[in-house]
Structure 1
Amino acid sequence: MEIRVLQYFVTIAEEKSISKAAQKRHVTQPTLSRQIKELEEELGTQLFYRGSREVTLTEDGHYLYNRALEILSLVDKTSSNLMEKGPVSGTVTIGAAEGRSLKSVFAVAKDIQATYPRIQFNVNSANADDILEKLNTGILDFGIVARDVDKNIYDQLLLPTQEYWGVLLPKNHDLANHSSLNWDDLAPYPILLPNQSESKTFFNQKLPNKIQIPATFNLIFNASLMVEAGMGLAITWSDLVATDSKESPLTFIPLEGDLPPIQLSLIWKKHSQQSRAAKVFLAALKDAFAFLSIS
């Protein structure tokens, strides 16, 4: 499976047309068709449905498309790192959970760019499961997560500011006047949960057995829209949604119980070959947060 063929495949998937993809890639249509046919034969599966007006991805095609994007991204990143010369430059790629601690990380990033204006940051919002997968494959330089990680595989730097769990609900809800909520308070209502595996397991153990869970989420903005639409109450972290203004239809109420505060940390793979830009970023973060330690 050649990189060039993966590039052809991705272009066809995005253009939904072999002829348009051929024009974009500056190759002939028969050449492109032959390359995709050979790729399908190599993989032993059909990648496209061929219609009269457009081509669309099969289920296996969708899988390959997502993996191809990751592979091509890693190839570009590797090439850029190897070609680094002169002033420090390049892109630092971060997969991040949402949380207030990111403000301090971005403040450090801003200071870095004042000294190294050719360093860029690519920040992807994701849950911990996705972040760990992409760290392991080299797609990400760093992850920001709120979970314990295997210290034999990852190095870790605690970030300042702790979060706490609570419930996002409409201001006109029956529970909106409570100063705090417990698990029994939530029993009569549908609950929206974060969709990362560790959180779902934890809350499934805490919530009443027959509670309804109509949806899960990985981005709090989408969760807030579901709450506004009346789909349920969202269990989430503090201060991720602005609820103080009169215009906001939502409010946030803390959860009681054996819920430890949430500590975000920056993680990266041990012994990974980091770019110069990533090394500069990590050194600056270590200087900024040296007062924090991993227990």
Structure 2
Amino acid sequence: LYSGNEDDVTERLDKGLLDFGILIQPADLSKYNYINIPAKDVWGVIMRKDSPLAFKDTIQAVDLLNVPLICSRQAIKQTFSKNEFADWFGEDFDKLNVVTTYNLAYNAAIMVEEGIGYAIALDKIVNTSSDSNLCFRPMEPRLESGLNIVWKKHQVFSAAADMFLKEIQAKFSNSLSDE
């Protein structure tokens, strides 16, 4: 099991170090076979519970224009593919005050706890339970990202990996997009 961002996971797939990866959409899937996982992850803002924005039920783009933001490198990366994250902000995307970026949400959570800024992240990726100093507020309008299980095209699998692939194909057969 390996945890990383899109670049880390695809590099390991390409080198044959991983059989499968899970990528958060939008991702470049051109080199891979993949299965869409039907569940969606919800984007929002992780903040300290004593933050002024913590009293809101949802966070809108205008709420984020004048606050220090900690953003996922993958989410703000400008690519040729559609960037739903940038689209959510519209023309205000270039006005954001991004003070730093992160690859690991754990590190973003530490920065939020230290008062460096507000982290834009997926729900349930860091501890925001009642015993945490942090809370999560979803973005409004709602912004969701899908997930894909990916593997290299024309991959020759071990017996165990092949059995795993057959199981996930059966489980998600209506979401299959491979050759």
**What CA distance in whole angstroms lies between the structure 2 residues aligned with 1:280 and 1:287?**
11
Partner of 2:119 in structure 1?
Answer: 234
Please report the TM-score for the alignment, with normalisation by the length of structure 2: 0.84
2:133 is aligned, of 224, 249, 252, to 249
Q: For residue 177 of structure 1, what is the amino acid of its counterpart?
A: F
Q: CA deviation at 1:222?
A: 1.2
- 1:265 equivalent among 128, 145, 148: 148
Q: CA, structure 1 residues 221+150, in 2 after alignment: closer, same or farther (shift >3 Å)?
A: closer
- Aligned to 2:46, what secondary structure does the other structure show? strand
Cα contact 2:73–2:101 (8 A) shared by 1: yes
Q: Does structure 2 retain, via aligned residues, the 8 Å contact 1:184–1:208?
A: no
Counterpart check, 1:200 vs 2:85: no
Question: In the alignment, which residue of structure 2 is the partner of 1:221?
Answer: 106
RMSD: 2.0
The 5 Å alignment of 1:62-77 reads: none
Question: Which stretch shows the higher mean deviation, 123-132 or 209-218?
Answer: 209-218
Partner of 1:288: 171
Does the CA-based 8 Å contact 1:181-1:256 persist in structure 2? yes
Question: For 1:264, what is the secondary structure of its paired residue?
Answer: strand
Q: Displacement of 1:293 after TM fit? A: 4.3
CA-CA distance at 1:163 after TM superposition: 0.7
User: With structure 1 as the length reference, what TM-score do the two structures score?
Assistant: 0.53
Percent pairwise identity: 35
Q: CA deviation at 1:291?
A: 4.1
**Structure 1, unaligned stretches of length 5 or more?**
1-122
Q: Greater RCO between the two (CA within 8 Å, min separation 6)?
A: 2
d(CA) in 2 for partners of 1:126 and 1:285?
Answer: 21
The residue aligned with 1:103 is: none
Q: 1:171 and 1:163 mapped to 2: Cα distance?
A: 22
More strand by share: 2
Indicate the structure with greater helix content.
Answer: 1
Residue 169 of structure 1: how far off its partner (Å): 0.5
Question: By how many angstroms is 1:154 displaced?
Answer: 1.1
Q: Does 1:164 align with 2:48?
A: no
Work out which of the two has the higher radius of gyration on C-alpha atoms and give 1 or 2.
1
Q: 1:145 aligns with which of 23, 36, 41?
A: 23
